[in-house]
Structure 1
Amino acid sequence: MNVIELELQNLREKYTLEYVAKQSSGALLYQSGGTVILASVSVDEKIVEEDFLPLTVQYIEKSYSIGKFPGGFIKREGKPGEFETLTSRIIDRTLRPIFPKGYSYPTQITLMVLSYDKQSDLQVCALNAAANALYISSLPFYHPISAVRIGMIEKQFIINPTMQELQNSTLDLYVSGSNDQLLMIEMRSLSKDSETNEISEEKLLEALMLAKNSILNSCIQYQNAFDTHKKDALNLLLKSDKNNSEIYQYIKDNYSLEIQNAIVEMAKSERTAGLKNISLKIAESKDWEIADIVAVLKNYKKEIIRNQILDKKIRCDGRGYEDIRPIEIQTNILPFAHGSALFTRGQTQALVVSTIGSDSDAQTQEMLSDKLPNKEKFMFHYNFPGFSVGEASIISSPGRRELGHGNLAKRALESNILDHSKTIRLVSEILESNGSSSMASVCGGSLALLASGIEIGSLVAGVAMGLVIEGDKYAILTDINGLEDQDGDMDFKIAGSKNGITAMQMDIKMGGISHIILQEALYQAKNARKRILDIMEEAKEKIILNTDILPSLEIFSVQPNKIVEIIGQGGKVIRDIIERFGVSIDLDRENGEVKISGNDKNNVSGAKDFILNLTQGQKIDLSQYEIGLIFEGEVKKILDFGAFISLPKGGDGLLHVTKITKNRDESIQSYISEGDKIKCQILGLSKGKIELDLIKN
């Protein structure tokens, strides 16, 4: 066995070649510390007819890598978790633009985490492993690629922080690139000590320059290490550009005006019916293959759009470079949802709905880095039904795109949430889409939080930036539509408040972006964000809370040794409280914290009073009372199910609603009010409680 071991000391990485998965087109065993990843590349040498890159990336975490069994009933790895899906997407988004133009062979990149030391950054490790497996493979791939994560602790940048260091960081910046070209960026600000921590454009540019230098250094080392170990190249022919000159000239001479009109329509909708009709017309009159017509038509359309932007400085929908489409906002349009916001920007519309819950509603997640499953108390779910772009398709489970957009919106908003006591679920339903639906979700999500009574540091808005570049000429576009995303060179999503950036995501389609263009895009986005936030501030002032249905939450502490009294023998006491008051109760045995939540504020308050009476030495001495005793007591508190009446020798007794009203639909307040003196009789004594009857005059 001719095993090759390459240890890159400066990068703390070890690569073993010609050792495992040798029948694949390229494979290696990657090791950093105690983390081991198998990376393999396989290719089907039968070219696909469609005009796209059939690349699939699968990142898979094995439970045995940290010596544990898979969670759930079936003890076997199954459907990928959200972190696995998002990591696969990060790798795909980095590597896809580097493949040579015309490459259309089904290609599978597989990453398997075989061992994990709970210190290494799995997303950095996985991308480096995948990129270098591709680099040494028999595919026509000659670009060294590297990833780096930048953290910031006490205003100092840290390159590739450990997972523990990242917990104390106020910045999470993940960057991948090739040599001195940046390919993909993902960034989020991290809140610490209940404070928001937006990052300024200046500071972010400084961090990106640090990341760029680190990537360049790594790529040089990779190239030196792997150049002599690349496999012999497969004989893979690349597709030539289907730009038939005869068809092109015919379209230009006869259909320019119709294509211009179709482009205007496409700028208003992501549907391509106009171009489809043109291609069918041409096919009826000419003896050309429909596939060739469609390909040339697509290239001609792209050429018109890009030339118009660069030469005439006008976008396909008539806007200037920095113009934002008209924005309309409505809040709490759903009467029985906790909070909602309908955010419309041009032909993109997001309905974002907020639901507030307790600890028991949190999402349980299993991560390799965690000993026990953790509770996720802020969730953002993004849905993209086919009707949003006029497609007749069924609604199915979310794919990688939906998970990615939801994750971006979540990262944009979570650092600005100040109220961490509640579990929050935001759902963005995309009702219409023509570009930047994820950023519409951010804007709508920020308002939906406020509309459900959640305290936030400041409003957060998002905007998608685009780029068209030809030689020395370039144009940065604000608030891109679907057509500009499709035919442009960059999709750059930036979210933040007036204080700075909270999250961003950048994908480059042409193999890198200069620092100057990146800087211009950031400041242009800042101006756009401020204009959007001004409109959102106006909508914020008009929010009317659905107070009648908003859940109430009380958090207080008792002596930790009193928790057992709240629970009672076999859980009888806590079950009785939950049933009587209609609330949810979460108890922390270690610090004595009690959380009570429910849809009725009075019931939540009543449950709190009951527990405090139970735990603060105000227990009723039942031996001092007897059934049948008549007394006059004060009405202390009125709830839906009855009233608490003060007893002559301390404590309160319960006068049930059925003893007060003629039927349960009547209001108790029609008969008695808090502070009234009423005559009662003791009906029963049990479990430290006294049940009363009303003596009517």
Structure 2
Amino acid sequence: MKYDVTVDLINREEKYSFGEVAKQANGAAWLRSGKTVILATVVIDETEIVKDDFLPLTVQYIEKSYAAGKIPGGFFKRETKPSDFETLTSRIVDRSLRPLFPKGFGYPTQVTILVLSADKESDLQVLALNAASAALFVSDISIDKSVCALRVVKVDGELVLNPTLSQLNSSTLDLYLSGTKDDLLMIEMRTIGSNEFDNSLVVDPFMDPTLGMPIVEMHVSNAISEDELIGIFEQAQEALSQNNIKYEELFAPYKRECLSLEYKAHNINEEMVDFVRTTHMPEIKSAMNQMAKSERSTALRTLRKNILKTNASWDEVELKDAVEKVKRGQVRTQILDENIRADGRTLREVRPISISTNVLPSAHSSCLFTRGETQALVVLTIGGAKDAQMYESLTDSGTQNEHFMVHYNFPGFSVGEASPITGVKRRELGHGNLAKRALEPILDLDSQTIRLVSEVLESNGSSSMATVCGGYMALRAADIETSDIVAGIAMGMVSDGDRYAILSDIMGLEDHDGDLDFKVTGSKNGITAMQMDIKLGGISLDVLKEVLYQAKEGRAHIIDIMLEAETNIELNDGVLPNSDFFHINPSFIGDIIGQAGKTIREIIEKFEVAIDIDKKDGKVKVTGKSKSGVEGARAHIEGIINTPKVAKIEYKVGDKYKGIVKKIVDFGAFIELPDGTDGLLHISKVSDQRVEKISDVLSEGEEIGVEILEFKGNKISLGRA
């Protein structure tokens, strides 16, 4: 492969080839970085134009198993549905590319990103966006801006730009940004606990204790302060700017001649706008005050019908656009001129919050979190190590286990839509992932598996942040320890170029008609995760800092309400799994496990528990569905420990001993010898007379005399003495 362009970046080199492959696409870029090779293509459908005010862009990021020398697992030996990582990466690229397209661009556009070769140190999410942007820049679409991605991590207290995956895995910060040479467009951030690993033996009813030992992951909260984050943004934005300047200069010679495309004309009928603004402002303001999306839509639809009754010649689509423009203008003007929002709140005011915990009596725990007209029912389930979600990334050497899951569901009825519930969409996966990143740093899973499911029952502004708040409360309602209390808030902004207003806890109307959607999660002391999308095309760091501090103020308000609700939690004692922790001398672990795991399996089956044993320091965790079962298992283990050990006897053929009939079987009886060793007394050796049924001669628990006849490997053959 001949490479046309080499781009030297901080800690990474990228080589691009244009015009050699995928020549029938509108644009294509072949990118190599290290041993990773990615092909990105852009294709538009020039035969149709979508008339709605919407950019019909589809991004698909696809990892090929052969890229890492693997064959797909499972029944079907070819790539099937996308993994969560592929879906989330597609979403990140989509959000970064959309601002580049010209206004009025309505042609269906497909961006395809194929990972053809991958090494274990490559950041595929960063390379995916860079490759897609390169393909778009050199295409025949009229786009003259480059966008690129940058990841920033913090290793041993030092910032690293464009890290390797090894550095990311040892980092306390994961910050992914995208932007042009002028503007910061998107931010994804999470803090990472300082992962610790121990040699834990995890035993449950479905695991053979003689098999390999799973690793237990430990997390410690690493929230980051607003001031430190702003400093990092400054460095990152400068790096993004310099990178994009390089891309645009180097890619410009390979830009195709642009197509002559007609863009959607979105002309507003100003006569209708003036009429609505002059004669129907009270109805517009009333519709604005309808907080639910369905109620607001109904009010505006009714207004349009009433206007058409007296203006029958008017086009309803044009009237809809006119009404929407008046409504949007009123929302923004009222905020900028009066500092009053559509629902009457001040700019910093958070909507009323109510919290009810353990509303589902048969679930391990639950929380119904309501903030204004947004409501999330978050339900928690506790499992053992075997309940973890198995997954395998392209660059992983083997399968991994996910012990903390957050699943977010957004049914149509939550916004008054008559739509069926189907599979998980990208938005649902993305919001669940954001909530997971927000809460994971405060958890010490300690060999547990935790699943949080957020059922959004009503939505009018940031149900993902309601999921974070409800998720924390569900954790506490299950008596799960956390290192801090975490809440989330969605921030917005309205700007007319000269003035701006920052909004706390935005509702759906302000998200739709505003210029910023910025979700921030964390404690009172710092941030654990964030997600930002800019609709203006960029945001200054001074404004960003103001947004972060106003978000901190809002989080503190929400956290105070959550702390009060925490004092009223009543656990679902009859349902919630019980756990007990204690320590034993590690020298007794072999006695507890028994030969081939026999003893510990008997404890598990008898008391219906799961048992985790740390081989290094003797820490034992017993978990079960009932308190009595957990207590019984602990007592049994302590009984084994407190029973004096009997010295092993060196048995010889001809020795005679007293033994206890331990178990009777069809072919004989197992006899327990004085040191606990078992021997077999065959039915033919029980008596001088022929015995048809051994239970006619012996009974379990009976003491009899036996003689050592022979050794067969580790087995002892006995005769009657």
Task: Please indicate the TM-score interval, normalised by the length of the shorter structure.
Answer: 0.7 to 0.9
Using a 3 Å threshold, how does the CA distance of structure 1 residues 561 and 114 change in structure 2: closer, same or farther?
Answer: farther
State the match for 2:687 in structure 1: none
RMSD: 2.8
- Which stretch of structure 1 is more off in the superposition, 322-331 or 242-251? 242-251
Q: C-alpha distance in 1, partners of 2:130/2:512?
A: 28
Q: Distance in 1 between matches of 2:566 and 2:294?
A: 29
**Paired residue secondary structure (2:222):** coil
Q: 2: distance between equivalents of 1:484 and 1:36?
A: 42
Alignment partner of 1:32 is 2:59: no
2:536 maps to 1:510: yes
Q: Is the 8 A contact 2:59 2:111 kept in 1?
A: yes
Q: 1:360 aligned to 386, 391, 394, which one?
A: 386
Q: Give CA deviations for 1:28-51 in whole Å, capped at 9, x if unaligned.
A: 111111111110001011111222
Matched residues, percent identical? 51
- Tell me what 2:100 maps to: 98
Is the 2:153–2:160 contact (alpha carbons within 8 Å) kept by the matching residues of 1?
yes
Give the structure, 1 or 2, with the largest relative contact order (CA under 8 Å, sep 6 or more): 2
The answer as to 2:626 corresponding to 1:581 is no
Matched, 1:231 2:256: yes
Partner secondary structure for residue 4 of structure 2: strand
Q: 1:56 & 1:128 partners in 2: Cα distance?
A: 17
Equivalent-residue separation in structure 2 for 1:650 and 1:600 (angstroms): 35
C-alpha distance 269-500 of structure 1, shift in aligned 2 (>3 A): farther
CA distance 1:269–1:528, change in 2 (3 Å): farther
Distance 1:425 1:442, change over 3 A: same
Residue type matched to 1:522 in 2? L
Residue pair 1:152, 1:170 contacting (<8 A) in 2 also: yes
Q: Is the 8 A contact 1:553 1:597 kept in 2?
A: yes
Residue from 587, 590, 593 that aligns with 1:566: 593
Q: Contact 2:472–2:485 at 8 Å: present in 1 too?
A: yes
Deviation at 1:360, TM superposition (A): 0.6
What secondary structure, in the 3-state scheme, does the structure 1 residue paired with 2:37 have?
strand
> C-alpha separation between the residues in 2 aligned to 1:15 and 1:590?
51
The residue that corresponds to 1:671 in the other structure is none
Counterpart CA distance in 2 for 1:594 and 1:71 is: 35
**Letter of the aligned partner of 2:15 in structure 1?**
K
SS in 2 for 1:195: coil
SS in 2 for 1:241: coil
CA–CA distance in structure 2, aligned partners of residues 340 and 311 of structure 1: 42
Between the aligned partners of 2:611 and 2:702, the Cα distance in structure 1 is 25
Equivalent residue in structure 1 for 2:475, among 449, 465, 479: 449
Q: Among 362, 367, 370, which residue is 1:344 paired with?
A: 370
Query: Which residue matches 2:42?
Result: 41
* Residue type of the alignment partner of 1:104: G
What is the 5 A alignment of 1:430-441? 430-441=456-467
Residue by residue over 1:11-43, the C-alpha shift from the partner in whole angstroms, topping out at 9 and shown as x without a partner, is: 500001111111001001111111111100010
Q: Residue 563 of structure 2: which of 534, 537, 549 is its match? A: 537
DSSP-derived class of the 1:149 partner? strand
Cα deviation, 1:638-664, whole Å, max 9, x if unaligned, reads: xxxxxxxxxxx999xxxxxxxxxxxxx
- The corresponding residue for 1:387 is 413
Cα distance in 1 for residues equivalent to 2:392 and 2:445: 24
Match of 1:186 in 2: 188
Distance 1:595 1:72, change over 3 A: farther
* CA displacement, residues 131-173 of structure 1 (integer Å, 9 cap, x when unaligned): 1111111112111111101111222111111111111111111
Contact 1:268 1:347 in 2 (8 A): no
CA distance in 2, matches of 1:268, 1:463: 20
Distance 1:685 1:429, change over 3 A: farther
Q: Does the Cα contact within 8 Å between 1:36 and 1:114 map onto a contact in 2?
A: yes
User: 2:344 aligned to 288, 310, 318, which one?
Assistant: 318
Closer, same or farther in 2 for the Cα pair 1:354/1:290, shift >3 Å?
Answer: same
Give, as a single letter, the amino acid of the residue that structure 2 aligns with 1:456: T
Match of 2:142, SS state, is coil
Contact 2:591 2:640 in 1 (8 A): no
Aligned mates of 1:444, 1:319 — CA distance in 2: 23
- Looking at structure 2, the residues matched to 48 and 533 of structure 1 have their Cα atoms a distance apart, in angstroms, of 45
1:414 partner SS? helix
Aligned pairs for 1:269-280 (under 5 A) are: 272-280=297-305
Contact 1:37/1:112 (<8 A) preserved: yes
Instruction: Identify the match of residue 62 of structure 2 among 60, 63, 67.
Output: 60
Q: 2:230 matched to 1:205?
A: yes
Output aligned runs, 1:415-494, within 5 Å. Answer: 415-494=441-520
Partner residue of 2:423 out of 362, 375, 397? 397
Q: 1:627: how far off?
A: 6.4
Mapped contact 1:270–1:434 kept (Cα < 8 A) = no
Alignment check: 8 A CA contact 2:358 2:477 kept: yes
Specify the code of the residue in structure 1 equivalent to 2:192.
Answer: L
1:589 Cα deviation from its structure 2 partner: 9.0
Q: TM-score normalised to the size of structure 2? A: 0.83
- Unpaired stretches in structure 2, ≥5 consecutive residues: 197-218, 650-656, 663-673, 677-698, 704-721
Does residue 546 (structure 1) correspond to residue 572 (structure 2)? The answer is yes
Contact persistence 1:39–1:111 (CA under 8 A):
yes
Partners of 1:340 and 1:448 within 8 A in 2 = yes
Note if contact 1:140-1:233 (Cα within 8 Å) is conserved in structure 2. Answer: yes
Decide which of 270, 275, 278 is 1:250's aligned counterpart: 275
Within 5 Å, give how 1:617-696 maps onto structure 2: 626=660, 684=701
SS in 1 for 2:75: coil
- Unpaired stretches in structure 1, ≥5 consecutive residues: 629-648, 652-681, 687-697
Match of 2:145 among 138, 143, 146: 143
Give the equivalent residue in structure 2 for 1:7.
6
The CA deviation at 1:348 is: 0.7
Counterpart in the other structure of 1:114: 116
Distance in 2, matches of 1:168 and 1:483, equals: 41
Q: Is the 8 A contact 1:558 1:592 kept in 2?
A: yes
- Give the drift of 1:685: 7.8
Q: Distance in 1 between matches of 2:492 and 2:258?
A: 35
How many residue pairs get matched?
635
Provide the C-alpha distance between the structure 1 equivalents of 2:73 and 2:298, rounded to a whole number of angstroms: 47
CA distance in 2 between counterparts of 1:270 and 1:446 reads 31
Q: Using the TM superposition, name which of 609-618 and 517-526 deviates more.
A: 609-618
The answer to whether the 8 A contact 1:269-1:347 is kept is no
Structure 1, residues 263-304: CA drift from partner, whole Å, max 9, x if none? Answer: 111467675111122223334432233222222222221111
